[in-house]
Amino acid sequence: MLNFWGRDAVQFGKRVTRCEENADGVRVWFTDGSMAEGDFLIAADGSHSALRPYVLGYTPERRYAGYVNWNGLVEIDEAIAPGNQWTTFVGEGKRVSLMPVSDGRFYFFFDVPLPAGLAEDRSTLRADLSRYFSGWSPQVQKLIAALDPQTTNRIEIHDIEPFERLVRGKVALLGDAGHSTTPDIGQGGCAALEDAVVLGDLFRQSRDITEVLRQYEAQRCDRVRDLVLKARKRCDVTHGKDMALTEAWYQ
């Protein structure tokens, strides 16, 4: 976008609050009091989308998936895992995973089935993880010791029941705003890229906004519904809701 539109046309640090359609197109308002308008609106404002209720006509509930995820970055250490592969430790419906990324670092995550709403305390993070993963391999213990509690993210994983529509008028949902999923099949960001490719291809073929958005919805609704439900099923399988099924899946 920066290359195509130029830096002056792309604004950062904006948080949208609402939108409104009129005869000329769409207007949107932001928390800083500013307003923008255009011929149509792509609402790509994430899983907590402020624009989603406009499209759906209601505010959907987020569904807790049953586990907490901690993630962050550490320097690659061969004593923890090989620096050239994705390594995963599993057991008891829990997971620990590391994968090499840029600048000689691992991206890591821990998954633990827990009730929603537990207090977060960074000062006890290492102790908490040590308790959850007591008796696990020395590599897992080394990772816990190596992580920085101040830069480790804690996320209660949620999804949202799939939607019957992605478009209202000249406003279209894209990405997590349109299909908020758990990360269990690694398709959240991929599906958003698919949305963008489909939408871009349709606009290359036509400038009829109403028809393009109609086709976008027709092409994407079933696809993203399927991804949300597949991720939900995988989540249940890998996080020990039926431990025998979880053990069988990993064998």
CATH of the domain at 108: 3.30.9.30
Judgement on whether residues 134 and 217 belong to the same structural domain of the protein? no
Judgement on whether residues 78 and 134 belong to the same structural domain of the protein? yes
The model carries a pTM of: 0.90
Residue 134: how many other CB atoms lie within 10 Å: 9
Judgement on whether residues 143 and 165 belong to the same structural domain of the protein? no
Judgement on whether residues 8 and 24 belong to the same structural domain of the protein? yes
Judgement on whether residues 55 and 171 belong to the same structural domain of the protein? yes
Residue 44 sits in a domain whose CATH number is 3.50.50.60
What single-letter DSSP state applies at residue 162? P
How many independent structural domains does the chain possess?
2
For residue 190, give the nearest of 175, 205, 168, 204 by alpha carbon: 175
Q: What is the DSSP string of 91-113?
A: ETTEEEEEEE-STTEEEEEEEEE
pLDDT score recorded for residue 240 = 85
Judgement on whether residues 140 and 167 belong to the same structural domain of the protein? no
Judgement on whether residues 45 and 113 belong to the same structural domain of the protein? no
pLDDT score recorded for residue 241 = 84
pLDDT score recorded for residue 136 = 98
Judgement on whether residues 112 and 25 belong to the same structural domain of the protein? no
Judgement on whether residues 101 and 170 belong to the same structural domain of the protein? no
Judgement on whether residues 43 and 153 belong to the same structural domain of the protein? no
Judgement on whether residues 136 and 171 belong to the same structural domain of the protein? no
Query: From the first residue on, what is the mean pLDDT of each consecutive set of 10 residues in the chain (251 residues)?
Result: 88 95 96 96 97 98 97 97 96 96 97 94 96 98 98 97 97 98 94 97 97 98 97 92 84 78
The pair of three-digit structure tokens given for residue 195, joined into one six-digit string = 């949305």
Query: What residue numbers bound the domain in which 132 lies?
Result: 63-158
Phi and psi dihedrals of 71, rounded to 5?
A: -150, 160
Give whole-number Cα distances, 199 to 10, 173, 175, in Å: 19, 11, 12
Judgement on whether residues 30 and 72 belong to the same structural domain of the protein? no
CB 94, CB 112: distance < 8 Å: yes
pLDDT score recorded for residue 17 = 98
